[in-house]
A and B are shown apart, each in its own frame.
Chain A
Amino acid sequence: MVNNIENRILENDKRAAARLITMLENKDPEGFRILKSVYAKGGNAYVIGITGPPGAGKSTLTDKLVKAYRKKGKRIAIVAVDPTSPFTGGAILGDRVRMNDLNTDKDVFIRSMGARGHLGGISEATSAAVKVLDIFGSDIIFIETVGVGQSEIDIVKNCDTTIMVMVPGLGDDIQAIKAGVMEIGDVFAVNKADRDGSARTAREIEMMLDFNKTLAWRPPVKMVVATENKGVDELVEAIEAHREHMLTSGAFTTRRIQNAKSEVVSLIKERIEQSILDNAHNEDKLSTFSKEIVSRALDPYTVVERLYEEIKDTIHIK
């Protein structure tokens, strides 16, 4: 048992923070009671997303970025998200392997999360963890996540600055990435710049970014070799420039308000869905009507109209 979490978390107590994150992952009502009681103390941490294809060097780069920010005396937290097996629900969360030196730094807190198996989705779970680590007293929170899949993309949408990590030789992949997530990157890092083709990859990214000339912020593209700590200071400068832009242009607050709005909407959706499905009567009706939709006795639109009026009253927002 971990007692007195609400006071301990304000005193930078790691065990209290760690346990509160677990409670929120579990949707434990006591966890939400505690988070609500300390929520007003937060809002001070800057949140940096690190995304890109698997194996691009995100964890290695995060380790180096954290070391650079530690030199500036910043207190750091990292939330590292790794894929979960869709078959067993299990996962091997291995990002800490690349961050071993950070393990004995008392001003660094690292939390690993499996991508699946969270009620409401991983983006909700990471967002709760970020709130805890902010209140706990972190100056900067890094979120590492693979840049494939909508739920992972939703995570980085919630960050103040998002770094898109690319590597040479992505070939056609770069087209796919362009379609999905290019617009999410505030800063681009071409990692593994010790390899052939990195200059070309950087040029391709620059060209894609130049297609969109209406941007208020033109994302810079930086070459780095994470394993050798090369180009990391320049990357930090680019991050700081973006942060400066966010704060002076007002985009920082606008983005946060937008994120708060979408968070509330998704929490409401989740509540309503849960409330409907918790009611066995509703489940039965849904099943019956669904069969009739398939046999064409009814259409889905009529079903929605009929059910809405009835189901409305069974929604209990706890």
Chain B
Amino acid sequence: MERPIRVLVAKPGLDGHDRGAKVIARALRDAGMEVIYTGLRQTAEQIVNAAIQEDVDCVALSILSGAHNTLLPKVVELLRGEGADDILVIGGGVIPGEDIPFLKEKGIKEIFTPGTPTQVTIDFIRGNVNR
């Protein structure tokens, strides 16, 4: 029996909309993955604690609040501090194109902007998890 890929879907930042996060959570579930959904307003520390305990293969961060340039690199940095830099970190949401190279340089493996078909995200996760 093939073990499903485990993905933590988290919504860092202070804004109160998790529609995007829920859409991607459902799409990943329908693709046969186990999605650990943690809800709104997660701090980077909470996300990393959950990722470690759940031993996920991937952390998918959905962000709208504009704080992506601090929050996303912080998650990667904290994971590294826990020796968990083998976990794939990806981001999605309203992120300006000019910020993407910076985020990738900080270790976020891919950024999915609004309108990206969910299948693209699914394929990326399947192709890039370390297992």
A residues near B, CB below 8 A? 1-2, 14-15, 18-19, 21-22, 25-26, 84-85, 88-94, 96-97, 100, 103-104, 109-112, 114, 117-119
Contact = CB atoms under 8 A, between A and B. Distances in A.
Given A90-B29, A90-B32, 15 more contacts: A14-B53, A15-B55, A15-B83, A18-B53, A89-B4, A90-B31, A92-B29, A92-B35, A92-B37, A93-B37, A103-B46, A104-B43, A104-B46, A110-B50, A112-B36
B33 A90 contact: yes
Nearest to B3: A26
A221 B14 CA distance: 40
Ranked 8 nearest A-B pairs via Cβ:
A90-B29, A97-B39, A18-B55, A103-B46, A90-B32, A22-B55, A88-B32, A94-B37
B123 interface: no
Name the interface size band of chain B.
20 to 34
Question: What does DSSP make chain A's interface, helix, strand, loop or mixed?
Answer: mixed
A15 B25 CA distance: 24
A111 B29 contact: no
A78 to B, nearest CB: 9
Contacts, number: 88
A94 B43 CA distance: 17
B4 A103 contact: no
Given A22-B55, A90-B29, A112-B54, A96 B49 contact: no
A115 B55 CA distance: 17
B40 to A, nearest CB: 8
